[in-house]
Structure 1
C-alpha cells in the first residue's frame, strides 16, 4: 500500500486521482439525480442559447444539454470500461497462450499478435465495427478487440520476463503444471503493470467510443453517450456552439483523467506503460553459456544404484550458420549417495547441462541424448503427469541466486507447501506443517514464524537453505545445486555446504554440485567432472584434484586458486587466452590454443575421453606430461609485461 500512496504524494497524481474519482462518482449519481431534467422536452424552448436556466442551452427538442451530458456519463464510462475489460481478457488469453501452448503453437500466436499490432488501433476498431454492426454492443466488441493486441503484446513480454525467473523454474522442476504456474507464480507478479496499462487503456477506450458514436457507429437513439451528444451538437453548432462544446469538454476531461491517473500510478510504482519503446525487454537465456560434458561409459547398462544416467547429451540452439552446440556429447552417471562436482570456466557448459537434466532448457533450445534417465525413467519422453510427479518428488534444484529463487509475492511456507499439495495430496494445513518441518530440517530458526514471512524478510543464507528445504518437501534422490554459494559470505557458504553434505550422508541423496570454485568442489564431492567447451575433459576423484590431475586445463584451474603457500612476490597464476566461443569451436582439441603442451596433433585431432586402469578419464593427447618450468616462467614474464 505504501507504493500506491506514492501516487497521491505528487500534485499530478493527486489531481488525476481527484478527477478520476469525480468522473466515476458522477457516473453513479448523475442518472439518479438528473434523468428527469435531462429527458424533459420543451418544444417552446428549442435550440436555446446558454442561460441561467440552461447552462449549455437546449437541443432540437428543448432538452437541457448540460443535464444530458451529466447523465450520459454513466453510459459512456460503462461502455468504455466494458471495452477495456474485453481488451484485457482477450489480451491476457492471447498473451499467455505461448506460455501455455508451447513452442509451435506459441509461434503461431505470436505471429498473429505481431500482425495485429502493426495496424493502427482506430483502423482495427472501424474494421470490427463494420463486422459487428452499428450500436453500443458492436462498438464494445469493436473497441475491445481492437485494444486486445496491445495488451497481448504487453502480456507476452511480461510473462516472458517472469517465466525466466528461478522460482518459475523451481516450480517446473517440482512438476507443477503450466496453468498452475501461470495463475500462482506469473500473473501475480505482472498484475501491477497490467492494472496500470488497463487504466490508461480505459481513457483510450473512452475516446474511441466517443469517436465511433460521433461517426454514427456507436450508441444509437434514443440512448445517448458523450459521442452521440457531440454528433447532435455539431448539427446545431452555428446556432448554439455550447451544444458541441459541453460533451466535447466532458470527453476531454474524462480522457485526460484516466490517462493521467494511469501515468501517475506508473511513475509511483515504477511501472512501464504500453508502447513499443517502453515495453520491458524480453528475458533471454541465462547468463552462463550452456554446460555440457562428453564422456564414454565403461558399460552400456547402468548399475542398479544409479540415480542419474546421462549418455551423449547434446544441447543445441539455432544460429545464423547452423546449430550451435554449447554442450557436445556429455556422458556421466551419479550413484545413490555420491557427490559429483562439475567445474570449469564460465561458458564451459556446466549450468546448461544441469538445465538439460532438469528439463529446463527452453525454446529455442533442443536437448538430445542417447540416454537421459532419472531413477530409470526416460526424461526425454513426452511430458506426462507421472514424469512431473517424478521430477517434483525425486529431484531438487538449488539455483544460483537465492533472491530470485522464490516468488516475491508469496510467503515462504506457502511456496514450500505447494509441492506437498500438488504431488502428495496434502491439504493446506498438512502441507504447511510439512513446510515448517522442512524449514526446521534445514536449520532455520523459528520455522513456524519464518514460514509466514516473505522472501525479502530472509537473509541470503536463509533463502538458500529454504530453497534446499523446498527440494526436501518430497523425498529427493538427486539434488542439483548450481553455484549454491554465489554472493554469500564465507561463513554462510560453509553453512550451506555443510547442510548439503549432511543431507547427502543422512539420506543417501545423490548430489551434483556445479561451481567455479575447485576448492569447494574438492571439499564436498567424491568425484569431479572438469568441463571445457561443452565437453568433459577430465573425470577424476576429488582427492586427486590438487595433485593428481592429468589434463593441462585441470591443472591450470587448480593453479589459478591462491592458497596459503602462494608466493606473494610473483603474479597470480592465470590461464592465458579466452574460452572457446560455442559458435566457433576449432578443429582438434578446443584447449589447444591455450595449452603449453599443445602439438600439431592437438590442433588436428580431438582427443577422446578415455579411461585408465584406475577408472579415471581424461581427454588429452599429452595427459600427465609435466609442464616445463621454463614455459611457466615465460608465461609469468608475459603476465608481468601486460
Structure 2
C-alpha cells in the first residue's frame, strides 16, 4: 500500500501537485500566526492605495494591507472547504451505503433521491441549501457539504455495488456477520482509495464553491474574512485598484488547482477512476410434479437428514415477465453423503446453492415448499439464530479462490472473524483456532501464513484456506461451487482429497457443483443432473457411465473423453445451445436438442419420477437408445 502511494511522487505532476498542496496547508497554519497583526492594521491615511513597495497588493477601504489579509485568510478558507468536504463525504457515505445496510427496497428510495439530486447543478443545490440554512459561515458549510453529498453518494453506491457481489462478501454473510459489520470490515476498506481520491478533488471544488458563496454575500460575514469575502470587498474598488480583487482571486485559483492536481496525480498513481423502477413479481405457483413420496421418506428417515429442499424456485424480474432460472428443484442430503450437481453453464447449479445459502438478494426471490437445514426452516425471516446456524453449520467454498477473501485483511484475521462472531472467542483464542484450521487443511507453516495477505497464497492454498474458514465452526454441510475450476490437475486432486477426508472424518455432508462429470462420478455418492433450472435425473454416481436414463445425462457422459476414446474420431458433442432462462419453451426444455424428442416432449413437461432404487428421471423416453452427434456431423451409436 505504501509503495503504491509512493508511486504518486514519481511523476513530475505528482511532485508539483504534492508540493503545491503542502505549501497551501503550511501557509494555512503559519500565516495567521505571522501576519494577523499586519493584516488588521488600519491606516486611514493610506486608503485604497495601489500596489507599492510597502503594500504589494495595495490597501482596502480602511487602509489594511490586502496581501497580508489574503495570506491570513488561507486558514479560514481551507478550514471551511475541508469542513464542507467532510460533510459531503459523510453524507455521501450514508446515502451510498443505505441500500447495502437497509436492503434493496429502502435502498431504491435513497437511490431515487440521489438520482434526482445529481440531475441538478451543484452550485444550484448549494444556493438552495444556503437559503435553507441561512447566511453565514456555518450555513455555507452545510450548504456546500449537502450539495456535494449526492455526487459522492452516487460514487459510493457504484463502488459498493461492485464489491458486494464478491465471494468474500458472500462468505461473510454465510458466516452470519451483520450487514453493518460487513460494511465496516470488508466493504469500506476495499473502496477507500477511490473515495480518498475523489474527496481530495472534491475539496478543491468545495473551496471554489465557498469562495463563490462568500463573494455573493451568503458566506463569511464581517468582521471575519475568507478569500471570497475579500473578493466581495475588492470588487467595488476594482477600477481603482485591480489588485484588491486579483490577489484573493489568484489565491482561490492556486489553492483549488493544488487540490485538484493532487487528486488527479493520486488517481493516476493508484490507477483509480474519478467521477464527477422494478415491477412487482406475480405469485409463483409451482407447476412441476415432484416425487413427493421419495422426499417425504427422506425427510422422515431420521435425524441424519442435513438438507431438505422441495419445490425450490428462484425468480427475477425481466423485461417480458418473471424469469425463473431455478424451477421446482427438490432433493435431500444426508449426513456424510456427497451429492454432485452437474450440468452446462446456466442450468441453475450455482443459483440453487446460493438460494440454499440465503445469498439470493432482491430483486431475486426464493420460494420453496420446504427448505430445511438441520431441521431449521430457512424460509423464515432473517434472525440471529438463523445467522448462527448458517455461520456454524454451513460452509461455502466458492469457485474463484482469489475473490473468496478480502484482499485488504490478513488471512488469520479473516478466519478468526467467524470464531469471534459466533463462538464468542477473544481475539487471541480466535486467531489460535484459525491457525489450527489452516493446519488442518494441510497448509504448511500456518502461523506464518496466518499473518499473510491473500495475494501471498497460491491458488490451491487459497482454496484450502477457504475450506478452513468453513471449518472454523462445526459444519454439517459443505457446498463446494466448482472448487477446482481455476486450479491445475495436481492441486485439483489435493483439494478433492481434502474434501473427501473431511467428509469421512467428521461425517460432513457435501454438495459438489461441477462441470466435470468424471470428477463428480468419482467423488460423490449421488449425482443430480440439472438442465434449464430443474433436475432431470437423480441417480447413484456408480450408475453414471452405464445406467443413466436421461438423454442429456448420457450426452454429458459421452462428451467426456477417456482412455478408451478413439483419437482418430472427432469428440462427441451435444448439438444446439442451452435454453435461455428468460425464454423456456413449453414441454421438455431439452426437446430441441434431444434426438428422441417427440410431439409429446414439446408439449408436456415430464415429472421427476422413480426409475429404480435411488434413481429418478424426468423423461418420456428414458433409457431408449440415442445417437450422440459428433463434431463432423457423423453419428456414433451410444449403448
Report the TM-score range of the alignment, normalised by the length of the smaller protein: over 0.9
Q: Does 1:296 align with 2:291?
A: yes
Shift of residue 294, structure 1, vs aligned partner = 8.2
Shift of residue 615, structure 1, vs aligned partner = 2.9
Q: How do residues 601-612 of structure 1 correspond to structure 2 at under 5 angstroms?
A: 601-612=600-611
Between the aligned partners of 2:336 and 2:496, the Cα distance in structure 1 is: 15
Between the aligned partners of 2:511 and 2:135, the Cα distance in structure 1 is: 65
User: Would you say the 8 A contact 1:294–1:328 is kept in 2?
Assistant: no
Structure 2 counterpart SS, 1:536:
strand
Residue by residue over 1:528-572, the C-alpha shift from the partner in whole angstroms, topping out at 9 and shown as x without a partner, is 000000010000000111111111100000011111111111111
Between the aligned partners of 1:240 and 1:636, the Cα distance in structure 2 is: 90
User: Would you say the 8 A contact 1:214–1:228 is kept in 2?
Assistant: yes
Residue 357 (structure 2) aligns with? 358
Structure 2 counterpart SS, 1:216:
coil
Residue 634 (structure 2) aligns with? 637
Residue 331 (structure 1) aligns with? 330
User: Would you say the 8 A contact 2:526–2:540 is kept in 1?
Assistant: yes
Structure 2 counterpart SS, 1:206:
helix
Shift of residue 603, structure 1, vs aligned partner = 1.1
Structure 2 counterpart SS, 1:603:
helix
Between the aligned partners of 2:585 and 2:160, the Cα distance in structure 1 is: 38
Residue by residue over 1:600-630, the C-alpha shift from the partner in whole angstroms, topping out at 9 and shown as x without a partner, is 11111111110023230000111011125xx
TM-score by length of 2: 0.96
Q: Does 1:263 align with 2:264?
A: yes
Between the aligned partners of 2:419 and 2:517, the Cα distance in structure 1 is: 35
C-alpha RMSD of matched pairs (Å): 1.3
Between the aligned partners of 1:321 and 1:552, the Cα distance in structure 2 is: 31
Residue 285 (structure 2) aligns with? none
Q: Does 1:561 align with 2:557?
A: no
User: Would you say the 8 A contact 2:21–2:258 is kept in 1?
Assistant: yes
Q: How do residues 88-487 of structure 1 correspond to structure 2 at under 5 angstroms?
A: 88-275=89-276, 295-297=290-292, 298-300=294-296, 302=299, 303-304=301-302, 305-487=304-486
> Structure 2: where are the runs of 5+ without partners?
277-287
Shift of residue 363, structure 1, vs aligned partner = 1.9
Structure 1 counterpart SS, 2:248:
helix
Between the aligned partners of 2:123 and 2:601, the Cα distance in structure 1 is: 65
Structure 1 counterpart SS, 2:312:
strand
Between the aligned partners of 2:291 and 2:185, the Cα distance in structure 1 is: 42
Between the aligned partners of 2:290 and 2:456, the Cα distance in structure 1 is: 43
Distance 1:634 1:622, change over 3 A: farther
User: Would you say the 8 A contact 2:573–2:631 is kept in 1?
Assistant: no
Shift of residue 468, structure 1, vs aligned partner = 0.0
Between the aligned partners of 2:133 and 2:623, the Cα distance in structure 1 is: 79
Residue 586 (structure 1) aligns with? 585
Between the aligned partners of 1:326 and 1:467, the Cα distance in structure 2 is: 27
Between the aligned partners of 1:625 and 1:299, the Cα distance in structure 2 is: 27
User: Would you say the 8 A contact 2:540–2:614 is kept in 1?
Assistant: no
Shift of residue 599, structure 1, vs aligned partner = 1.1
Distance 1:456 1:632, change over 3 A: closer
Between the aligned partners of 2:5 and 2:591, the Cα distance in structure 1 is: 59
Residue 283 (structure 2) aligns with? none
Residue 282 (structure 1) aligns with? none
Shift of residue 322, structure 1, vs aligned partner = 1.2
Between the aligned partners of 2:348 and 2:516, the Cα distance in structure 1 is: 15
User: Would you say the 8 A contact 1:296–1:332 is kept in 2?
Assistant: no
Between the aligned partners of 1:495 and 1:470, the Cα distance in structure 2 is: 17
Shift of residue 462, structure 1, vs aligned partner = 0.1
TM-score by length of 1: 0.95
Shift of residue 300, structure 1, vs aligned partner = 2.6
**Segments of 4+ moved more than 3 angstroms:** 631-636
Residue 545 (structure 1) aligns with? 544
Between the aligned partners of 1:615 and 1:451, the Cα distance in structure 2 is: 44
User: Would you say the 8 A contact 1:394–1:476 is kept in 2?
Assistant: yes
Shift of residue 352, structure 1, vs aligned partner = 0.2
Q: Does 1:570 align with 2:569?
A: yes
Between the aligned partners of 1:633 and 1:170, the Cα distance in structure 2 is: 41
User: Would you say the 8 A contact 2:588–2:603 is kept in 1?
Assistant: yes
Between the aligned partners of 2:181 and 2:613, the Cα distance in structure 1 is: 49
User: Would you say the 8 A contact 1:571–1:636 is kept in 2?
Assistant: no
Between the aligned partners of 1:76 and 1:25, the Cα distance in structure 2 is: 13
Structure 2 counterpart SS, 1:612:
strand
Residue by residue over 1:496-521, the C-alpha shift from the partner in whole angstroms, topping out at 9 and shown as x without a partner, is 00000000000000000000000110
User: Would you say the 8 A contact 2:341–2:528 is kept in 1?
Assistant: yes
Of 300-309 and 409-418, deviating more is 300-309
Task: Tell me how many residue pairs correspond in the alignment.
Answer: 620
User: Would you say the 8 A contact 2:570–2:631 is kept in 1?
Assistant: no
Shift of residue 364, structure 1, vs aligned partner = 1.0
Between the aligned partners of 2:482 and 2:236, the Cα distance in structure 1 is: 73
Between the aligned partners of 1:638 and 1:318, the Cα distance in structure 2 is: 41
Residue 30 (structure 1) aligns with? 31
User: Would you say the 8 A contact 1:413–1:436 is kept in 2?
Assistant: yes
Between the aligned partners of 1:446 and 1:634, the Cα distance in structure 2 is: 49
Between the aligned partners of 2:603 and 2:88, the Cα distance in structure 1 is: 61
Between the aligned partners of 2:630 and 2:536, the Cα distance in structure 1 is: 25
